[in-house]
Amino acid sequence: MKFGTDGVRGRVGVEPMTASNMLALGQAAGRVLAAKADGKIKRRVLIGKDTRVSGYMIESALEAGLIAAGVDVRLLGPLPTPAIAYLTRTFRASAGIVISASHNPYYDNGIKFFGPDGMKLDDETEAAIEAAVSEGLHTNDSDSLGHAKRVDDAAGRYIEFCKSTYPADCSLAGMHIALDCAHGAAYMCAPKVFEELGAQVTVMGTEPNGVNINDGVGSTAPAALMQLVQESGADVGIALDGDADRLQMVTASGDLVDGDQLLYIAATERQRLGELKGPVVGTIMSNLGLENAITEQGMQFMRADVGDRYVMAELKQHGGVIGGETSGHMLCLDKTTTGDAIVAALDILAAMCRRQQDLATLAAGMPQYPQETINVDVEQASFAKAEIAAQPAVVAAKQAAEAALGKSGRIILRPSGTQPVVRVTVEAETEALVAEHLPVLVAAVEAAAKG
C-alpha cells in the first residue's frame, strides 16, 4: 500500500480500498504512532469521515486495527477534513485520520493523515506506516489494547473555532447567503457557522444519503448554486466540496468566482491591512491574470506544482501565509493549518465587510485570461507519459507557441498523476489565440504518443 500526494484513495472494494487493507493500515499506523509517542503526545488517534456509505466500513476497520496496536481511538463522525486537523491539535493527539475522497463520486473513498501539529503527516512517518503494513497483522494482548469512544461535541468545537476566525469588528447581520454543502461532511456544521454569525442562510446539499455526495452539487458542480443565488436573491453564494476543503463562490448576479479570484481577494486584503507575509503561492495552473494582478500591486507571486501539499511546502519554505489553487483549495496559514473552505469563505466575507464592497467588485480587480485544456490519451505510447513533453516535435511546437505568445500567454504540458493522459493547456489574452495554438500542440502530443 502506497501513499499518494494526498494519502490513499481509490474505488471502494478495489485495492487498496478494501476492508482487509484498512484493518492492516489501522494496525500499522497504530504501531508506528505508538512508537513515536513520547509522553507529551498521547497514543490517541482521531477518526473523522464524510458522508459516503463506505465510511462506516472503513471507520470500523481502522478502529479495530488501531485498538489492536494499543492506540486509543476517538470517533468524530461526519466532519470536514479541516475539522479533523483542528481537533487533532486541540486533543493533543498522535494523529488524525480523515476518511474521504474529497470531490470524487460516492463509490470512491480515501484515507489521509494529519500529524499532531494539524498538518499533513510527514513523508518519513508515511513511509514507516507503509513498511509496517507489509509486516503483517499483530494484535496486542488484552492488557495493552486501546480503547474507543465517540466525541459528542466535536462539531460544536469546530463551529466555535470557525467563528473565532471571523473578525470581531465585522458582522454577517443583514447578509443573505446561499450555501451548498455538497451533501458532504459540512452538511451540519457549515450552516450553523454562518447563521450564528448573523447571516440569513438558504441551504442546499444538506441531505446526504450515502451516495449523493458531490452529485450535481458542491464546488465541482457550481451551476446548481448559481441558479439558487439568482432564485433566492442571495447576496453571495458559497459552495463547498464533499469534505469542505475546497471553496467556490458566486456573486449576487449568479457569476462564478473561482479559487484564483478568491486568492487574489484574500492576498490584496492582507496587503491592505499590512498583514501579508512572504509570497502569495499559486500553482502552475493558476491563471496568468492572477500572477499579473498580484505582481502589479507589489506582491511576490510563486507557483508550485498542482496539489495543496506543494503549495503548503512553498509557503512554509518562504514564510508565506496565503496560497491556493484554482479549484478552490485556499491555505490561510495565519488562521489554520490546512485548507478549510469555511474559514476561507469567512475570510472573503470579512474583506467584503471591511471594504463595504460586494464580491463581484472585489473579484473584478483580477482579469482572467482565457484558458483551455485538452486531455490527450497516451496509453498506447511506447514511452512514459512524463517523457512526452521532451519529445523533439513536442518541444518544437511548444517553443513556437511560447515565442508567438510572449509574456501574454502560457503553455502547460502536464502528465496526469492518475490517468494515462497528458493535459495540454493554452492560456492567452484572447480566446482567438487559445484557439490558434491549442490544436497545434495537441496534434504534436498525439503524434509523439503514436511514435
Active site residues: 102
Environment class of 123 (CB within 10 Å of its CB; exposed 0-12, middle 13-18, buried 19+): exposed
Kindly state the DSSP code that residue 119 receives in the 8-state scheme: S
- Rounded CA separation 57/162 (Å): 29
Q: How many CB atoms lie within 10 A of CB 408?
A: 14
For cell 447571516, the residue is: 199
By CB neighbour count within 10 A (0-12 exposed, 13-18 middle, 19+ buried), where does 414 fall? buried
Length of the chain measured in residues: 451
Q: How many Cβ atoms sit within 10 Å of the Cβ of residue 221?
A: 18
- Tell me if residue 391 falls in helix, strand or coil: coil
Query: Which helix H or strand E contains 316, and what residues bound it?
Result: helix 308-318
Place of cell 496509453: 379
CA 222/CA 238 separation, integer angstroms: 9
Q: Of 234, 169, 230, which is closest to residue 199 (Cα–Cα)?
A: 234
Integer Cα distance of 350 and 266 in angstroms? 10
Give the strands of the sheet with 409-415, arranged side by side.
371-377, 421-428, 409-415
Degrees to nearest 5, angle at CA 207 with 206 and 212: 105
For Cα atoms 412, 438, 247, give the angle at the middle one, nearest 5 degrees.
55
Amino acid sitting at position 72: D
Cα–Cα distances (Å) from 119 to 44, 114, 115, 304, 316, in that order, read: 16, 5, 6, 18, 11
- For 421, other C-beta atoms within 10 Å of its C-beta total 19
